[in-house]
Structure 1
């Protein structure tokens, strides 16, 4: 259904370092970069190795605001260990804990997830939803 999603970030280099670290355990990498320090219109894109971007970060200093309550971005994880590694990497890059890795039986019997808030206030989740 979706081709890609873009998020505005206040500091593109800091955000790119955060997403490089947080998405790596999930198997997602930076697939393109348009970083030109001091210039407008910088961005980076993330996706699967050898593929196009599914998430783009756009540098929007001063005018970016995260979406309001109810919005969050959930990333598919290959296993429970990847969910935990996503959470640890995000916290290690300055993200805020919004739910430690663990089962969420109210979402389903195999729903294993972790939740963080990125450096610009975007709510993120990594989820593995299959029998372990």
Structure 2
């Protein structure tokens, strides 16, 4: 259904470094980059290596705010270990814990997820939802 999603960020270089680190364990990479320090309208895009972007980060230094309560973005993970690495990378790169890695039985018997808040306040999840 979705082609891509864009998030506004206050510091594009900080956000790009954060998402480079947290998306790598999930198998996603920066697939394009338009970084021009000091200029307006900078952005980066993430997706499967060699493919198009599913997530774009747009530099909005003029007072970007994350979406309100109820919004979060969930990334599919290839396994439970990847969820753990995502969470660890987030904490090491300026994110805040919003739910440690673990099973979430109220979402399903195999729903293994971790929740973080990125440096710009966006609520992000990594999830693996399959029997192992």
TM-score by length of 1: 0.99
- 1:98 deviates by 0.2
- 1:30 deviates by 0.1
- 1:64 deviates by 0.7
Alignment coverage as a number of residue pairs = 132
CA distance in structure 2 between the aligned counterparts of 1:68 and 1:40, rounded to whole angstroms: 25
Following TM superposition, where does structure 1 have runs of at least 4 consecutive aligned residues deviating by more than 3 angstroms? none
CA distance in structure 1 between the aligned counterparts of 2:82 and 2:56, rounded to whole angstroms: 21
CA distance in structure 1 between the aligned counterparts of 2:51 and 2:62, rounded to whole angstroms: 31
Quote the residue 1:49 is aligned against: 49
- 1:63 deviates by 2.3
1:90 partnered with 2:90: yes
Structure 2 stretches of 5 or more lacking a match?
A: none
CA distance in structure 1 between the aligned counterparts of 2:5 and 2:63, rounded to whole angstroms: 18
1:68-113 per-residue CA deviation (whole Å, 9 max, x = no partner) reads: 0000000000000000000000110010000000000000000000
Quote the residue 1:106 is aligned against: 106
CA distance in structure 2 between the aligned counterparts of 1:105 and 1:129, rounded to whole angstroms: 11
1:35-76 per-residue CA deviation (whole Å, 9 max, x = no partner) reads: 000000000000001100000000000221000000000000
TM-score by length of 2: 0.99
CA distance in structure 2 between the aligned counterparts of 1:8 and 1:36, rounded to whole angstroms: 16
Question: What are the equivalent positions in structure 2 for 1:21-40 lying under 5 Å apart?
Answer: 21-40=21-40
CA RMSD of aligned residues (A): 0.4
State the secondary structure of the residue aligned to 1:100.
strand
State the secondary structure of the residue aligned to 1:86.
helix
Structure 1 stretches of 5 or more lacking a match?
A: none
Quote the residue 1:20 is aligned against: 20
